[in-house]
Amino acid sequence: KNVYKSILLNREANRKMLAVLLDPDKCRGSVLAGTIAALKSNTPDLVFVGGSHTVTSVDSLIELLKEEVNTKIVLFPGNASQFSTKANALLYLSLLSGRNAEFLIGQHITSSVAIKKTGIEVIPTGYLLIDGGKPSSVEYISNTRTIPRDKNEIALSTAVAAELLGMRLVYLEAGSGADTPVAPEMIHCVSAGLSLPLIVGGGIKTTEQLTAAYDAGADIVVVGNAFESNPNLIEEFVKCTRNYEAGSELSAT
Ligand code: 1GP
């Protein structure tokens, strides 16, 4: 269980992790070439592959990434069809903020036996969709409602339910391209009451927002959109993550 183990080891050492999200529908042609070049010179801890509305097969992108970039590839699927044995691990997502049985358990039943046979590392993940200021693709596709962005206690209760159900990660998601990322207050509330590693993503476009998420208690931050328009930003985000020291801002004042 190498990917999850590395997440736990980094968390114990208080090292934050950056995950770059690549959607095979968007990551092609010159965008793909620029992204691969950027990832080779500034390699993040993890690369997530997938999307809520992805139709392109994830296989060829993962094959290329494995040839070119020395990092772990993690499937971040929008549904059971986005699977590849070539990835290092699978986030086995259950959309706990919603009440659509299809995304809570239905897609899992469709794919569980086949996934188990492959022997891929499976990381059960409680996935919480938070209002990011505009309707997201995942909200539309899953036909579920978001948790209001100021309802920290609802997010905490949902995250702790994931923990008690035996899940291994919790993901606070504002939606790809969100106007407003998950608020630091919510990240702090959830991380303070949760014993699992916490992933945060959606709408993070600056290193200030990245640092704010780390400061609030995110163990892993996921960034996609910001790099699609400018792969050169990956360097800045990777360096910010490597140089991050918890409390450094507090101790400097
Ligand atoms: C979306 O959390 C990820 O699922 C990343 O969001 O594309 O807005 O960075 P962005």
Whole-complex ipTM: 0.98
Domains of the chain in sequence order: 2-238 (3.20.20.390)
pLDDT confidence of residue 54:
85
Q: Tell me the average pLDDT across 87-110.
A: 98
Contacts of 124 (CB under 8 A, 6+ apart): 92, 94, 166, 167, 168, 169
Q: Tell me the average pLDDT across 55-82.
A: 95
Is 173's C-beta closer than 6 angstroms to any atom of ligand 1? yes
- Cβ-based burial of 164 (10 A; exposed 0-12, middle 13-18, buried ≥19): exposed
What is the percent of the chain with per-residue pLDDT over 70, rounded to a whole number?
97
**Beta pairing class for 121-129 and 89-95:** parallel
Residues in the chain: 253
Is 223's C-beta closer than 6 angstroms to any atom of ligand 1? yes
36 Cα: distance to centroid of ligand 1 (angstroms): 18
pLDDT confidence of residue 41:
97
Which residue from 223, 228, 233, 234 has its CB within 8 A of the most atoms of ligand 1, so it is best to mutate?
223
Contacts of 188 (CB under 8 A, 6+ apart): 216, 217
Is 146's C-beta closer than 6 angstroms to any atom of ligand 1? no
Checking if the pLDDT of 248 tops 90, the result is no
**Which atom in ligand 1 lies closest to the alpha carbon of residue 203?**
8
- Per-residue model confidence as pLDDT tens digits over 29-50: 989 999 999 999 999 999 999 9
112 Cα: distance to centroid of ligand 1 (angstroms): 26
- Cβ-based burial of 86 (10 A; exposed 0-12, middle 13-18, buried ≥19): middle
Tokens of 144: 């579920």
23 Cα: distance to centroid of ligand 1 (angstroms): 10
Is 201's C-beta closer than 6 angstroms to any atom of ligand 1? yes
Is 24's C-beta closer than 6 angstroms to any atom of ligand 1? no
What is the spatial distance between Cα 92 and Cα 89, in angstroms, rounded to a whole number?
Answer: 9
Q: Tell me the average pLDDT across 67-81.
A: 96
**Which atom in ligand 1 lies closest to the alpha carbon of residue 205?**
9
Residue that is written with structure tokens 């772990």 in the block? 72
- What are residue 201's DSSP bridge partners? 173, 222
Can you list the alpha helix ranges (DSSP code H) found in the chain? Answer: 2-12, 29-41, 59-68, 101, 107-118, 137-142, 152-164, 184-193, 207-216, 225-229, 233-242, 248-252
